[in-house]
Structure 1
Amino acid sequence: MAALLSVPATAAVWAPRAAAAAPGRHPSFSEPYTFRNVTIGGTGFVTGIVFSQAQKGLAYTRTDVGGMYRWNAATGTWQPLLDWVDWDHWGYMGVASIAASPSDPAKVWAAVGMYTNGVDPNNGAVLRSCDKGATWQATVLPFTLGGNMNGRGMGERLAVDPNNDRVLYLGAPTGHGLWRSTDGGVTWGQVTAFPNSGDDPKTSGTTEDPGLVWVTFDTSTGRRGRTTQTIYVGVADRDDPVYRSTDGGTTWAPLPGAPTGYLPHRGVVDPDNHLLYVATSDDIGPFGGGKGDVWKFDATSGGWNRISPIPSSSGDDYFGYSGLTIDRHHPGTLMVGTQVSWWPDGIIFRSTDFGATWTRIWDWDGYPDRKLRYDFDITATPWYTMGTRSEPPILVPKIGQALSAMEIDPFDSDHLLFNGGPGIAGTSNLTAWDTGGTIEITPVVEGLEEGAVQGLIKPPGGALVSAMGDVGGFRHDSLTTAPKTVFTSPVFSTTTSIDYAELNPRTIVRAGYLNDPGGTSHAAFSTDGGATWFQGAEPSGVTSGGTIAAAADGSRFVWAPGDSGRPVVHSTGFGTSWTDAAGVPANAIVASDRVNPMTFYAYSNGTFYVSTDGGAAFTASAAGGLPATNWGVRFKAVPGREGDIWLAGGASWTSYGLWRSTDSGATFTQVSSVQQADNIGFGRAAPGRAYPALYAAATVHGQRGLFRSEDTGKSWVRVNDDRHQYGGLPEVLTGDPDTYGRVYFTGYGRGIIYGDPYRESKPPHHSSWDSSDHE
């Protein structure tokens, strides 16, 4: 057996609590809530898809920042599996790899960790479950994992022996080598006999080096209950990209004749014919790359053959290869996707003769026309057009640009899933491709909510309107139906800030990054509650969004673009012209008073600023004791109450908590009932109360969670539970001004979530932590 370097004894095993507080049985300072996702469908980057080979209809998918999901074939929905992840382990929402037992459908493992560059304070971990991800236990590793690092589409780096599911391998990033478990993932040790650490400076730098990126087995070289003998490992090393063991992992060596010069994104074994297929690219991806090849290794003859649909030697190629799968009912059938193909679309190739010949999902048909082998039906998610129309050769919806995840169902040759569109797409008539028919593609995203939310507003009497990363944002006329379109006129790639006029709530303003050739401004306006938009002029030198605020009556706006050194500006009317504001630093956080149209506020590195002339000039407040950084600070003015402001945020190395001002920021008082706070929002007042309900992402009496107060912060009830933590920090948080008790927030990469008090025939009794009783 290969020598193992054991995980240090200090590596903890952490078992998250899975049981929620049942209705009527809950901690004394909590109230049962029901949580659901606002329906969008996808929006984020799916990095891997893994079908179970033990049970038909069972599959898992991983995302870069939005956790892991299990496919429920009976309902046609994805079930999130990591919503229990808490504040302290937020990096676990980045899933680097998944492995499912080929013999026991209940067993699944996940390698989790967000970053390898120091941003994530925790090491990575391997989660294990014996109930398809309903509950988990974790073993912490002595190194970090990079579920959201470059190279995240490669894999799978975590693999379970198909003949003995007590044996697992994990390829580590950044020079940490190959790791092995022989007890089902409970303990791990480094395989010291493996000769390549995976630290290759020729890839993309030490903090971006994906290291050992996939492990795969030749099932035919073992038998049930015994260790599989032939194991392949892909390494992000241009000189030695593939390693093999033929003695069950005891010894390892570079695979003779392996192609050099490119990086092995994925490797798949055909055990019936003892073949290894490898897809390569010249970049670790997911969004870079220009050349690559597909190779076939015959273990019987020891020979390699390049079987690329378009070889790297061709002058026509402008992509590498990444997504790779075989039909396990027809092993000579394989498919591969382009690593990155920005124009006019991604390409999927299919071969039914072991790679000797290929067809592609679309072909040129006399430029600019293309002949398609597919029809893409987006009736359920019409926003997939991204606010544009087809203008050949660009057709919408697109297949996708970075096709790194692609799997044919091992139980059904007609069923394919791939990371197409903004999420997952699939077909159930795949073999029609081979007879000249059209395959029917649809988004497969119901329940898959992994968007990055940057802002959220719920104007009184209006729709929910969101600022989103990557897809701009949406107006939600229904919380349970996908929106018809993203924001248009202009289209933003990412909206960084959004606000509405409190006294004229159909007036909305947003700012962000342009993704529209016809766009002229990084700010846009709506006067119909976000249904339609228009743009005005903008100051010179603006390239990003920053923060933007609307006056209480919508008569003027203040904008702090996110460009370094670009001054804060103000405009009367809808941005027809902008004038620099005086007395406030660039890149300040700006907001408006919700009563007085002439009053705006700004915050910059511990100093609060006030303007009483519509944003023309700001004056620094004398208020002290606030966080000395903009990082993590969020402040909002209370609807209907002039000069009433709540500010949350900070960090352990500076002031950190919740503050309130009732004199337009002249003074602030720290709220003693809260130890730490990261966000604050307002909703409809409780029955019999005049002041809006407060919602805070905070720590109250040592308990971190999402809390509600009905008495201006004197007492709080926790409204989430240990099963609904979503990575800990709601980047965005607001109550509903029309529905008491409803709160909207974002999880870490989990889209928009809304919660309502649990309804039962008799309202559940609850008490709350009260600062006057428990100090």
Structure 2
Amino acid sequence: MKKPTLALACVVAAMVAACGGGSSPSGQAPQFSATLTTSGTASTTGTRWMNVKYGGSGYVPGLVFHPTSPNVLYARTDMGGSYRWDAATSSWIPITDGFGITEEFFNGAESIGLDPNDDKRVYLVTGMYDWAGPNGRLYISTDRGDNWTHVDLPFRVGSNDPGRAIGERLVVDPNQSSVLYYGSRTSGLWKSADYGQTWAQVTSLSTFQYASDQIPALPGRASGGIEGVLFDTPGTGSGSATQTIYTTVAPDYANAAGLAFNLYKSSDGGATWTGIATPVSGYHIPHMVRAKDGLIYMAFTRDMGPGAGGPGRLYKFDGANWTLLKSYDTQQWVNFGLGGLSVSGSGPTTRIALGVTNSWGNWQGQPIVQLSDDAGLTWREISSMTPHTPSEGDFSGWIDDVEIDPNNPERILHVFGGGVWETRNASAASPSWNLAVNGLEETATLALMTPPKGASYTLLRSSGDIGTHVQTELLKKPTRGPLGWFGNGFSADMAWSTPSYIAAIGSPVWNTPNVAGGYSSDSGVTWTAFAANHPDALANQGGESNIAVSKPGYIVWAPANSRPAYTTDNGASWTYTNLPALSAVGINRGYRVVADRKNPNKVYAYNSGGAWWNQWSDTAHFWTSTDGGHTFTESTSFVAAGALVADYGHSSVAVNPNAEGDLWVTDGFSILHSTDSGATWTRIAATAPVWGSNPTWMYPEVYGATSIALGKAPAGATYSSSIYIVGTINGVWGVHRSDDGGVNWRRINDDKHQYAGLGNLAADQSVPGRVFASAAGRGVVFSY
């Protein structure tokens, strides 16, 4: 994602949320059985899936072209899957949407490797964090990512760690495709001789590996490790392994491993290695590339990135001599580093594209992408001052990968914090650039909400990094919302009787330091900041915050780790409710507040308990207010009905918009239903967690029911709304739907559309069968 600390926070929250759960209820709860009707194909209405459009917005650390096959291009994201370019439609095709709920940790790719001799074979090295979780995985496809198998790797991987654009760390020997090398962050250099099936550390270079408990203590909890591998060979497919190999070593790993150099060379296929003195020592080498004439170009930069600071240097190396081609020194207000690097051609007309990082803004002469057409003798800027609109995002900052199309040197792409920019006339005096993000959706969605039928918009989406948006058309980028107000959008809701009234909350940004919430009276076209914030909002900026709107101007605001408060004057003043204050329990807690859609005087509050380890100190709680959210009364039957303790991210509450007091809760394990505003509850025995090897007093490998939403029912349905859940029924995880009040269920997604997990749900109130869901770093998807 665009900001490293936020991307880290978003995914860590998802990881830590895997610690939700609770023990079995001690009492016998009222329940009734449910059956599952499985849908084997996605051929009926409401079982096909596609993205709601936003376009980009997330960080793409790497682009990888096949060296010989035109238009074979891949993009890897740090936490939202990988993509293949489709030249026919000028769009990106997601290739990892089939990753399942247990593969969320592997949804970011630290490196992509392509076989120069087989343009259908592609490798992904995955694993979100080097400092946490299991070892990495190698995913292998022989059909350009349509299908995958995987191998568990003997080392850790950090696709969302600092320095995630360094590399590519995975390379395939162009002369013997069975040979792969991988430069790991904390475990040295590794080699496979059997297409990635087995791996061994290249101990001839170093045997050093950081211990697992040493990694979290590293600066930024990340090591540069072995940063790159380059085969020095002019040809492909000889059948004999390439003998001359270069590898780069990050300064931290060199120091820890006792390696005296940042660059090593092997002339015997990796059997032995010789250190090579570089003109800059103690710097990172984010990219090194070989031109057709055998010259090697190497970027040096002080910081690891993303958006690495300088000083930065670009050198040309002929195997013995170094030639300085470009230099950025750190001066008073200039801290430019180097990131992306690509070359095309050979000899004195070699084209070099160089990404200059940490150069924020948009001003004449700003270095973003520097281009040389004479092997580095002269340079010109080709990206700065390119016309663009604010909705397209800034194009500077994190220029950590730049690629010249090997089959069309006029086409150059570069990454940034919001996706990919592309030009196809690089030689022009002022090249034209366009966002190349069609089909690429990488947003971390924190909340979704749909309006009643008749509203002039379709969806409210609250997201990490990009704030809150009002979506009026599903296949067009949204242009409404409190744009520029929030870094993270936490929650948004509308007055059901007057859906043109919308309220939203989020985390302030530098230019709106005190704006944590506001409202719109015209369906999101214009916005007014609340005159005052909830008293605890600025001190409790967590994604566990949410709001409920009962009628225009009447709002209940529940920040994370706080006591909810209400306003009756559009946020001019706030008064605490009588709900108990919450505090964090190792992870944040928060109330989920929701307004009854038939009776605006009724507001409900659900506290899921916090985390599995909190089950011995607390229970889940459900509260009802009949005075618009001012005072609440707790349900005495909620826990007795079987409600368990869960974390915020694995629990949810929904109201039936067609019946007063008709409530549904998922507590991570089961579904609970009340038809009398929470006075009594019935546990629906439809879902069950998959515990796997985890003990039942802890948390399951796959939860039973984590999100619920109610939407427009089809004609002939026996219940007034269709019910959708994310959960596990008869051992099958996915999105399940019931049209008869939870008696019968059918899965409406298939194994090709699992998105490495699905979170928040919101169901359409106008179109039967349409439900929206937040995918794991893959934006918002919907059924149709």
TM-score range, shorter chain: 0.7 to 0.9
Decide which moves more: 345-354 or 261-270.
Answer: 345-354
In structure 2, what is the equivalent of residue 383 of structure 1? 391
Give the drift of 1:518: 4.5
In structure 1, what is the equivalent of residue 481 of structure 2? 487
Whether contact under 8 Å (2:658, 2:720) holds in the other structure is: no
Secondary structure at the residue paired with 1:582?
coil
Give the drift of 1:403: 1.0
Question: Separation in 2 of the partners of 1:158 and 1:607?
Answer: 49
Give the drift of 1:407: 0.4
Question: Separation in 1 of the partners of 2:667 and 2:289?
Answer: 47
1:86 to 1:66, Cα distance in 2 relative to 1, 3 A? same
In structure 1, what is the equivalent of residue 188 of structure 2? 177
Offset from partner CA, 1:41-78 (integer Å, 9 cap, x none): 11111110001112111100000111111111122111
Query: Amino acid of the residue matched to residue 621 of structure 2?
Result: T
In structure 1, what is the equivalent of residue 762 of structure 2? 734
Question: Separation in 1 of the partners of 2:591 and 2:295?
Answer: 61
Out of 473, 483, 506, which is 1:478 matched to?
Answer: 473
- The TM-score normalised by the length of structure 1 is 0.83
Whether contact under 8 Å (1:584, 1:618) holds in the other structure is: no
Give the drift of 1:329: 5.8
Out of 658, 668, 671, which is 2:681 matched to?
Answer: 668
| 1:141 is aligned to 2:157 | no
Secondary structure at the residue paired with 1:732?
strand
| 1:400 is aligned to 2:396 | yes
Question: Separation in 1 of the partners of 2:216 and 2:498?
Answer: 57
Question: Separation in 2 of the partners of 1:489 and 1:78?
Answer: 26
Structure 2 unpaired stretches of 5+ = 1-36, 255-260, 583-589, 610-619, 689-703
Give the drift of 1:165: 1.6
In structure 2, what is the equivalent of residue 324 of structure 1? 341
Whether contact under 8 Å (2:400, 2:416) holds in the other structure is: no
Query: Amino acid of the residue matched to residue 231 of structure 2?
Result: F
Query: Amino acid of the residue matched to residue 661 of structure 1?
Result: S
Offset from partner CA, 1:613-639 (integer Å, 9 cap, x none): 222233333221423243322112221
Matches within 5 A, 1:150-165: 150-165=162-177
In structure 2, what is the equivalent of residue 230 of structure 1? 244
Whether contact under 8 Å (1:195, 1:253) holds in the other structure is: no
Decide which moves more: 420-429 or 549-558.
Answer: 549-558
Give the drift of 1:166: 1.5
In structure 2, what is the equivalent of residue 52 of structure 1? 66
Out of 464, 468, 471, which is 2:463 matched to?
Answer: 468
| 1:129 is aligned to 2:141 | yes
Give the drift of 1:706: 0.8
Give the drift of 1:31: 5.8
Query: Amino acid of the residue matched to residue 341 of structure 1?
Result: S
| 1:719 is aligned to 2:753 | no
Out of 405, 411, 414, which is 2:407 matched to?
Answer: 411
Query: Amino acid of the residue matched to residue 657 of structure 1?
Result: S
Out of 621, 628, 633, which is 2:651 matched to?
Answer: 633
Offset from partner CA, 1:520-562 (integer Å, 9 cap, x none): 4211212222232221121445323653333333341111223
Matches within 5 A, 1:551-562: 551-562=549-560
| 1:260 is aligned to 2:290 | no
Matches within 5 A, 1:185-264: 185-195=196-206, 197=208, 199=210, 204-205=218-219, 207-220=221-234, 224-237=238-251, 240-257=261-278, 259-264=280-285
Question: Separation in 2 of the partners of 1:740 and 1:407?
Answer: 45
Whether contact under 8 Å (1:551, 1:599) holds in the other structure is: no
Out of 611, 632, 652, which is 1:618 matched to?
Answer: 632
In structure 2, what is the equivalent of residue 290 of structure 1? 309
Matches within 5 A, 1:580-729: 580-586=576-582, 587-604=590-607, 605=609, 606-622=620-636, 623-624=638-639, 625-631=642-648, 632-650=650-668, 656-675=669-688, 676-689=704-717, 690-728=719-757
Question: Separation in 2 of the partners of 1:635 and 1:346?
Answer: 50
Decide which moves more: 519-528 or 79-88.
Answer: 519-528
Structure 1 unpaired stretches of 5+ = 1-23, 363-371, 385-396, 651-655, 757-775
Query: Amino acid of the residue matched to residue 783 of structure 2?
Result: G
Query: Amino acid of the residue matched to residue 499 of structure 1?
Result: D
Question: Separation in 1 of the partners of 2:248 and 2:131?
Answer: 22
Question: Separation in 2 of the partners of 1:570 and 1:556?
Answer: 7
Matches within 5 A, 1:427-446: 427-432=423-428, 437-446=429-438
Query: Amino acid of the residue matched to residue 743 of structure 2?
Result: K
Give the drift of 1:404: 1.0
Give the drift of 1:30: 9.8
Offset from partner CA, 1:367-416 (integer Å, 9 cap, x none): xxxxx5x53456xxx722xxxxxxxxxxxx52221111210001111001
Question: Separation in 2 of the partners of 1:52 and 1:339?
Answer: 25
Whether contact under 8 Å (1:221, 1:228) holds in the other structure is: no
Question: Separation in 2 of the partners of 1:722 and 1:319?
Answer: 45
Secondary structure at the residue paired with 1:731?
strand
In structure 2, what is the equivalent of residue 334 of structure 1? 352
Decide which moves more: 219-228 or 259-268.
Answer: 219-228
In structure 2, what is the equivalent of residue 389 of structure 1? none
Question: Separation in 1 of the partners of 2:148 and 2:504?
Answer: 40
Whether contact under 8 Å (1:110, 1:128) holds in the other structure is: yes
Whether contact under 8 Å (2:443, 2:779) holds in the other structure is: yes
| 1:71 is aligned to 2:85 | yes
Question: Separation in 1 of the partners of 2:752 and 2:42?
Answer: 16
Query: Amino acid of the residue matched to residue 344 of structure 2?
Result: D
Whether contact under 8 Å (2:225, 2:249) holds in the other structure is: yes
1:117 to 1:96, Cα distance in 2 relative to 1, 3 A? same
Give the drift of 1:323: 1.3
Offset from partner CA, 1:196-246 (integer Å, 9 cap, x none): 646498994484224222222212388622212222222222553222212
Secondary structure at the residue paired with 1:41?
coil
The runs of at least 4 consecutive aligned structure 1 residues that moved more than 6 Å come to: 200-203
Secondary structure at the residue paired with 2:228?
strand
Matches within 5 A, 1:269-308: 269-275=290-296, 277-287=297-307, 289-300=308-319, 302-308=320-326
Secondary structure at the residue paired with 1:90?
helix
Whether contact under 8 Å (1:458, 1:736) holds in the other structure is: yes
Q: Percent identity, please.
A: 33
Question: Separation in 2 of the partners of 1:578 and 1:346?
Answer: 48
Q: Quick one: higher RCO (CA 8 Å, sep 6+), 1 or 2?
A: 2
Give the drift of 1:486: 5.5
Whether contact under 8 Å (1:96, 1:113) holds in the other structure is: yes
In structure 2, what is the equivalent of residue 770 of structure 1? none
1:683 to 1:596, Cα distance in 2 relative to 1, 3 A? same
Question: Separation in 2 of the partners of 1:743 and 1:535?
Answer: 30
1:206 to 1:242, Cα distance in 2 relative to 1, 3 A? farther
Give the drift of 1:570: 0.9
Question: Separation in 2 of the partners of 1:694 and 1:109?
Answer: 39
Question: Separation in 2 of the partners of 1:347 and 1:405?
Answer: 11
1:459 to 1:58, Cα distance in 2 relative to 1, 3 A? same
Question: Separation in 2 of the partners of 1:222 and 1:737?
Answer: 57
In structure 2, what is the equivalent of residue 3 of structure 1? none
In structure 2, what is the equivalent of residue 549 of structure 1? 547
In structure 1, what is the equivalent of residue 26 of structure 2? none
Question: Separation in 2 of the partners of 1:732 and 1:149?
Answer: 25
| 1:359 is aligned to 2:358 | no
Secondary structure at the residue paired with 1:449?
coil
Query: Amino acid of the residue matched to residue 514 of structure 1?
Result: P
Out of 310, 322, 326, which is 2:328 matched to?
Answer: 310
Question: Separation in 2 of the partners of 1:223 and 1:630?
Answer: 53
1:230 to 1:203, Cα distance in 2 relative to 1, 3 A? farther
1:228 to 1:221, Cα distance in 2 relative to 1, 3 A? farther
> RMSD over aligned Cα, in angstroms?
2.7
